[in-house]
Amino acid sequence: MRIAWSIGFILIGILLLSYPQIEKRASDAKQQQLIEAFEQLGTISEQVEAIPTTDIAPIPPAPEQLTLLDGARGVIRIPKIDLQMMIFEGSGEAVLGKGVGMIEKEKQFGKNNVGLAGHRAIAYGKQFNRLDELAPSDEIEIRTKTDTYEFVVVETFVVNRTEVEVLSDKKEPLLTLVTCTPVGSKDPVDRLIVQAKLKPKS
């Protein structure tokens, strides 16, 4: 009987230790599905514009894919921290539960200071967990349906969550990444900020 209890406790322990990794894999797979659907939308738009009206248009994504992409604005890629996630309009829990949130949806990449928010906890997969590893000169790519923007990190710092002026527009286009800090803190009052400037197109 004791052996059975011991084995049971060991199995429960293994399951608890494995759960974050299992959840992370599921989150990564979902992100890849969303990104592929988003990129397919862009490709289909280009194809529809290019073909004569007498030709047959390509098959659009399935309705369930379009539902998943509701509010999608693009894809963020940060090679240094192996991050690739969808960007959605808004920063509420529903949005942050499925990707990175665009805090002010009326802003435009390459023109404004665009703020992007993301979770920073094991329960939410990768997201912005490793944002603190970024440093000046690291690169960030934003891909929308119509263009690709490359940014270079210029500074990282911590502010109180009330200091929303970090999202104000400046003279040049910026990208401002926002996440809670420190990791694991319940309802933290501070925010880790990573600001990057737009690289001129060659």
CATH architecture designation of domain 2-198 = Beta Barrel (2.40)
Residue 93 vs residue 167, higher pLDDT: 167
3-state secondary structure of 151: strand
Residue 199 vs residue 33, higher pLDDT: 199
> Using one digit for the tens of pLDDT, what is the confidence trace for 8-38?
656 666 655 555 555 556 556 655 555 555 4
Question: Nearest-5° angle of CA 23, CA 138, CA 144?
Answer: 65
Pairing state of beta strands 113-117 and 100-102?
antiparallel
Query: What are the domain boundaries of the chain?
Result: 2-198
- Cα 38 from Cα 197, distance rounded (Å): 25
CA dihedral 116, 80, 42, 174 (to 10 degrees): 40
pLDDT greater than 70 at residue 102: yes
pLDDT greater than 50 at residue 176: yes
- Cα 43 from Cα 65, distance rounded (Å): 15
End-to-end, the C-alpha distance of the chain in Å comes to 71
Q: What is the mean pLDDT of the chain?
A: 77
Phi then psi for 126, rounded to 5 degrees? -65, -70
Q: Are 71 and 90 in contact (CB under 8 A)?
A: yes
Q: What residues contact residue 77 under an 8 Å CB cut-off, 6+ apart? A: 83, 84, 140, 141, 142, 143
Out of 32-46, 68-82, 96-110, 116-130, which region has the weakest mean confidence (pLDDT)? Answer: 32-46
- Cα 192 from Cα 182, distance rounded (Å): 8
Written as one string, the DSSP assignment of 78-133 is EGGGTEEEEEEE--SHHHHTTSEEESSTT--TTTSEEEEE---SGGG-STTTTGGG
> Using one digit for the tens of pLDDT, what is the confidence trace for 68-79?
677 889 999 999
